[in-house]
Amino acid sequence: MLELNDEDGVWSKRRSRFWRADWSKYSSAERTKLTEFFTTYRDHVVREIGCAALAAWGSATDLVAMLDDPVFIVRKSAAYQLCKVPQSHQIAEKLWTVLNSVNTQSTYAIETLESYTVHAPSEGLIDTLVALVSNDARESIRCSAARHLLKLEAKESLHSLLPMLQNTPDATWSLHIILIDACTEFHFDPPNLPELARIDNFDLQCALAEFLAERANRK
């Protein structure tokens, strides 16, 4: 605690070391002291580091409170670390609120969704992920939700999304690549294979090559 409370010195080195710390070795009394320290300290870097400790101790209530921290990097750290605490539907509700904020973008959105899938009820989760892939304006969320469907082996749901391969992407071909990976995994046929084969994108063509190789091995 003394080193964390010292505002002088090279913080980049300290930050890296504390991220790798074994927080499980601290006693109950030490955890109580450190929890108050991490949740109230004025330096946001300390509060960010503290989220990892709180997760290691299963301090879900304190981590949820950190989702409302005034500093972005602390909120982001809390959202990420919440995937490490026991499942709670109440936490899922809070993360869903965070996820639907216009300020939740990019990796912050991806990590929030990751934690949400840990805490959300299994019933209805696949439908929620399909809706995100289909309707969310953020490419990071569409792609992350599609990857979760792959992880969950949601074959029928992924098949229902294949018509999206015919859409021209707003930014990148990432979602198309994930859906092609689903075709490879579950032996689907892309609805527009000749058109996709003409797209000048290296990663897309690599995914298609893997699909074609897998399909050839099936025959």
Domain boundaries, the chain: 2-121
Q: Give me the DSSP letters along 162-205.
A: GGGGGSPPSS-SHHHHHHHHHHHHHT---TTHHHHHT---HHHH
Q: Determine the distance from the C-alpha atom of residue 2 to the mean position of all C-alpha atoms in its chain, rounded to a whole number.
A: 33
In the structure encoding, which two tokens stand for residue 104, read together? 């939740």
- What pLDDT does 21 receive? 83
In the structure encoding, which two tokens stand for residue 108, read together? 């912050």
- What pLDDT does 110 receive? 98
- What pLDDT does 218 receive? 80
What 8-state DSSP symbol labels residue 135?
H
- What pLDDT does 20 receive? 75
Name residue, tokens 């992880």. Answer: 151
In the structure encoding, which two tokens stand for residue 216, read together? 């050839």
Of 1.25.10.10, 1.10.3720.10, 2.40.30.10, 3.40.30.10, the CATH number of 2-121 is 1.25.10.10
| Local mean pLDDT, 10-residue blocks, the chain (219 residues) | 54 65 92 94 91 96 98 98 97 98 96 98 97 97 98 98 95 97 97 95 97 90
Give this prediction's pTM: 0.90
pLDDT by residue (tens digit) across 156-212?
Answer: 999 999 999 999 998 899 999 999 999 999 999 999 999 999 999 999 999 999 999
